Amino acid sequence: MASMRPEYQQKVALASLLAPGGYERHFTNPFITPFIVRHKELTKLANTFNIYELPPYRMKYNELILSACTTALFNDICSSIYHMVSGGDSGELNNKILPIMFKYLPTVSVKQLLHFAQVIDSGHMRQWDYGRKKNMEVYGQPEPPDYPVENISVPTAMYYSLADNLAFAKDIEDICDTIQNCIRKFLMPNKKWTHMDFLASKNLEHELNEPLLEFIQEFENAKKPDNF
């Protein structure tokens, strides 16, 4: 939005981004990659069967996952899947918050997931790929255009980690160097910190929330006139 509709940037004082996606040139998540390389087949499948959200809300999957993952039999299995998807066991997981997360897991737009897959597969942060023929109709070119992220001028703070295998540190640093006003790159001190630790770390308050809020306060104070 900020790159395509720059007038909206005036409405944002400071963007504090936690493990942001965007550039995905170093994506190697072993659990998700097999789906990425088959995104064209998955797109056809979704269109054929009119699948618009995952998981379908009518499945009541929240209740199913919650009941399964809070039993002794499946608790370890759920934890293993959690760590496999997010980048490993950092030792940070707050087990008490997992039932809450499972209870309120949202559904996700299938097109959003497929667009994410297109970005990873192409190596470009670009608009939706309709295929060469329709791309010519929509964009006037065979490949979808990249988002002009260099137009983003909103003051931006990036919070990221080394063990995150969904939003890689090098990709975040690259996009920080590309936008106009990246004013902070905060690398999490725990080198094993994963993507999901930004939500579920038992040390979240001290390791992330406190430095984030302190920086917001410093930014606000710096923006105030002397006689405020």
Letter string b/e over residues 63-83, b meaning 16 or more CB atoms within 10 A of that residue's CB: eebbeebeeeeeeeebeeebe
Does any domain span residue 228?
Answer: no
- What single-letter amino acid sits at 176? C
pLDDT tens-place string over residues 154-192: 999 999 999 898 899 999 999 999 999 999 999 999 999
pLDDT reported for residue 100: 77
pLDDT tens-place string over residues 80-135: 777 777 777 888 888 777 777 777 777 889 999 999 999 999 999 999 999 999 99
Averaged pLDDT for residues 183-205: 92
pLDDT reported for residue 87: 73
> Residues with Cβ < 8 Å from 209, sequence gap 6 or more?
none
pLDDT tens-place string over residues 99-113: 777 777 778 899 999
Does any domain span residue 40?
Answer: yes
Averaged pLDDT for residues 74-79: 70
Does any domain span residue 62?
Answer: yes
Does any domain span residue 169?
Answer: yes
Letter string b/e over residues 34-44, b meaning 16 or more CB atoms within 10 A of that residue's CB: eebeebeebbe
- What single-letter amino acid sits at 104? Y
- Tokens at 18, concatenated: 């936690």
Q: Which residues, listed in sequence order, are joined to residue 146 by a DSSP beta bridge?
A: 126
- Tokens at 58, concatenated: 């009518």
Does any domain span residue 159?
Answer: yes
Does any domain span residue 212?
Answer: yes
Q: What is the CATH number of the domain that holds 144?
A: 3.40.50.1820
Q: How far apart are CA 44 and CA 47, in angstroms?
A: 5
Does any domain span residue 74?
Answer: yes
pLDDT reported for residue 95: 77
Q: Helix or strand or coil: residue 110?
A: helix
Residue 227 pLDDT grade (very low, low, confident, very high; cuts 50, 70, 90): very low
Q: How far apart are CA 185 and CA 16, in angstroms?
A: 10
Pairing of strands 108-109, 53-54: antiparallel
Q: Helix or strand or coil: residue 157?
A: strand
Averaged pLDDT for residues 183-212: 93
Does any domain span residue 1?
Answer: no
Number of domains observed in the structure of the chain: 1
> 179 lies in which domain range?
6-223
